[in-house]
Structures are given as structure tokens and as C-alpha cells.
Amino acid sequence: MVGKIAVEAVEEKRQRLDELSKFIWNHPEAGFKEYKAQEKVVELLKEEGFQVETGVGGVPTAIKAVFGSGHPVIGFMGEFDALPGLSQRVSSTKETIEGQPYGHGCGHNLLCTAHVGGAIGLKEEMIKRNLPGTIALFMCPGEELLTGKPLMARGGAFEGIDVAVNFHPNKINEATTGVSTAVNSMKFHFHGKTSHAANAPENGRSALDAVELTNVGANYLREHVPSDVRIHYTITNGGVVPNIVPDEAEVWYYVRAFSREVVEDVYERLVCVANGAAMMTDTTVEVEFLGGCYNTQNNIVLANVVAEAMNEIPQEPWSEEELAFAAALDEKTADSAKATTKKYGLSKDTHLYTGPGKVTSFNSYGSTDIGDVMHLLPTAYFFTACTNMGAPAHSWQFTACAGSSIGEKGMIYAAKVMAVYGAKLIENPELIKQAKEVFDKQMEGRVYKCPIPDHVGVPQ
């Protein structure tokens, strides 16, 4: 089997990898603040003989680690940020960890470590079999803010990579060809004039009125956009008390769609709505563009390579304890568990997935900034079983699984899959050629343009 040495190497490093994953899980950090995780990842990769660079593409917590030389250059696209409000113990009931505002409710501790393990495994295969090529492992900050990879791309971090791979913890073993949405995130800051709301309302110009009229306008806009568009908002400042006319108010919007072009069009129209609201209320508006990313664009050639690797590597069996833990979690999210088993055609009693690696084509209305890498070079995107069936993405249940042996098994499996994926591509350059042909066809002559304007800097 191609990649046998790589698989054995991952297994040999298992304890070290698990330590890294647990460290990151125990020290969850916000996007662009992943300094503790960065230090640990750099330490391990240096030990393993990689050439390591930080601050790649102008993003301070980003990492690039290189091994080997020449082509093909295989990119491993890791992430390591956590989410606010999702602190949780490894428990089947909701138990937050005191003093810990963040948690790995998207499992990026597993995501990070699987890419590190995959790169180490492939490196061993390359050394022992004297294979050509280069491993380029990246840790990409701020994925939850959907801007880490676009900012790194803007800084030129991904130049010279032939093909890449991105793994994410999820519910089943699946290489996806479905599409996730592109997104723009922006805040509208309105400025009005304060006054006593009862004694002198005529002197006031309410910034909150402008926010409300923007939302009314946005809700009318919904009817006249393509059906894949999603517009959602939250009022982040609505004033202080009812008897003061608010002179400052703010609303935060996301606009999503399955293509970048549609997002940009709807975004422009939404800015017009906000300008109209300002005009109606005699206030002014400032638009703060927070970030954006591309939709995903999966590569069927590479998805097939991932699925083939999945089916050659045995998935570890789940223990009785793991199955009981997952069943207890599923009791709390029975509707979500039912929807997942139905989606994948599994028995409704399934709590942890065991089965073949599949190529699927489900679309997702969520977004991930791997979409930007996918518009630069052919990239595979896949999932392994790391949680119970009902764990919602971004939930305390997900945090619990990401810190448990369930997540660890899914992570090690994913590391092996990525190592074998890399070995298969190095062995068979024809696959890379085919993947590039698919990519060129998808791009139809379009050129990647970072969605984040140059004046928007890296969040500090």
C-alpha cells in the first residue's frame, strides 16, 4: 500500500500528537491570538526537522513549515483558533470550565494536530523511500472570523503550492464536493443627535431608527435576491435607555451566497439600503468592512484520492464507553441526531459513525475560508467522524467530543488519510495534472482577488 510507512509513522507519534491536541484544547485562544498554540506547534515541527517560519503572509500567528524540495508541493492547511462562549468539560452534560471564556466547539485542536500528524507521516514516507517533492504545512489563524486564509493569501503565503488538503472534524468519513457559501461581514455605524426623548424629541436624530430602517430595508431586499442568498444581522448597539434618543447605534451583518459575485452584488445593495436609512433619519452612516471569504470549490479528482485513502486505512473501533458517551450526548440533541442519520442514510440508532469513506455532494450554507485557497489551487476538503451524530457545529457538545478519545481517534485517522493522500499524489503526478485541469475549468479564466480590501488590516 502506498503510504504504509506514513501510516505507521503517525501511529508511532500518536502520544506526542495527542499531547499537542490536548494542550490546544486546554488553552483555547481567539482568532489571531493563537500564540500559545503557535509556540507548541513550532516546537514539535522543529523537533521533526521542518524549516519553520512564523508571521507568514503578514499574519503574526500564522505558521509555514517546509520539508523537502522541488515539485510537487503539497499544502496542508491547518487551523487552530477557538470560539467564545463554548468552554466545556469532557462531559455529556453542559459544564463550563470556570475562567475559560473560549472553547474548541469547532474542534480546531483536532484539525491543527491532524495536519501536523499528516505532514510528519508523509515526511517519514518521503525519507525512507527517497521520494521527491515538498511538504508545505500551514497553520492559518482566525478561521472562525473567516479572514485568516484570505489575509494570508493577500500576503502571498500560498504561492508555489501545487495541491492542498484541508480536514475538518465532523460526523462521518466524507470527502465533499459540495459548496459552502462565500460571505461578507460588515458593521453599519450610525451617528445621530441625542436629546431628551420626552421633553425635546424634535431635537433628536435617532441612530437606532436608522438601524431599524436598515433592517426593514434588508428584509424587503430578501425577496429580490437569488434563493441561495442568506442575510443575517444582530444589533450590536441599540442605545442605552428609552428616554435618551440614541446618537450612536450599530448593526452587524453577514451576507452569504454560493458565489463571490452574488455576495458582492447583494453587499453593494445593502450598503445602499443603509445609506437610504441614514437619509430618512437625518443621520450619517459609516460602513466597516470586517472581512469576507470565497465559497468553496471542491476538486473531484482530489476528493477521490482522499476517499481511496480513507478506505485503505482501517478505522479504529469505538469502545463501549465512547458509544455510551455519544448516546448520552445524542439524547440532548435528538432532532439534530435524527436529521444527520437521515441525511447519510444511517440507522437511527447510530451515535458514532463506522463505515466507508464516502464522496458526498451536500452543499452547506455555512462558510469556511478554505474557499480562498480553493480559488488559488486545487484543494481537497474532507471530514472524519469525531463527534456524536447530533452535535451541532459550534456547540458545547462539539467541545466535549474534541477533548475526548472520540475526537482523538478521528484526528489520528485524518492524519493518516492526509499522509497517504500526499504519498499517492507524489507517486502519481498524473493525478495532480488532472486536478489542475479540473481547477482551470472551474475558474473559467477568473483570477483570485482577495475579498478583503487593502485598507483592512490584520486584526490585532
Q: Of how many residues is the chain composed? A: 460
Please report how close the Cβ of residue 106 comes to Zn ion at its closest, in angstroms.
3
Q: Are 93 and 372 in contact (CB under 8 A)?
A: no
**Which one of 102-110, 118-126, 183-191, 325-333 is the stretch in contact with Zn ion (CB under 5 A)?**
102-110
- C-beta of 57 vs 105, nearer to Zn ion: 105
C-alpha distances (whole Å) from 87 to each of 82, 280, 389, 392 are 9, 43, 20, 15
List alpha helices for 257-404, DSSP H: 260-281, 300-312, 320-332, 334-343, 370-374, 396-402
Q: How far is the CB of 168 from Zn ion (least distance, A)?
A: 6
Separation of alpha carbons 266 and 261, rounded Å: 9
From 88-96, 104-112, 210-218, 432-440, span contacting Zn ion (CB under 5 A): 104-112
**Closest to Zn ion by CB, 74 or 106:** 106
Nearer to Zn ion, 281 or 387 (CB): 387
Judged by CB under 5 A, the chain residues 298 through 327 that form the site for Zn ion are none
| C-alpha–C-alpha distance, residues 406 and 404, integer Å | 5
Strand 379-385, strand 163-170: pairing: parallel
The two most distant CA atoms of the chain are separated, in Å, by: 84
Using CB under 5 A as the binding criterion, the count of chain residues that bind Zn ion stands at 1
Position 106 contacts Zn ion (CB under 5 A): yes
Q: Which among 10-18, 86-94, 99-107, 294-302 is the span making contact with Zn ion, rule CB under 5 A?
A: 99-107
Distance CA 384, CA 171 (A): 6
**What does residue 458 show for φ and ψ, rounded to 5 degrees?**
-75, 130
Nearer to Zn ion by Cβ, of 106 and 412: the residue is 106
Residue with cell 489571531: 32
Site stretch for Zn ion (CB under 5 A), options 106-114, 157-165, 238-246, 440-448? 106-114
Q: Give least dist CB 313 to Zn ion, A.
A: 23
Please say which residue, 106 or 182, places its beta carbon nearer to Zn ion. 106
Closest CB 394 distance from Zn ion, rounded Å: 8
Residue nearest to Zn ion according to CB distances in the complex: 106
DSSP state at residue 181: P
Alpha carbons 336 and 394: distance in angstroms, whole number: 13
Residues in contact with Zn ion, shown as a per-residue x/- string from 334 to 353 under the rule CB under 5 A: --------------------
Q: How far is the CB of 169 from Zn ion (least distance, A)?
A: 8
Quick one: which of 20, 13, 17 has its CA closest to 38? 20
* Closer CB to Zn ion, 162 or 369, in the complex: 369
Q: Which residues bind Zn ion (CB under 5 A)?
A: 106
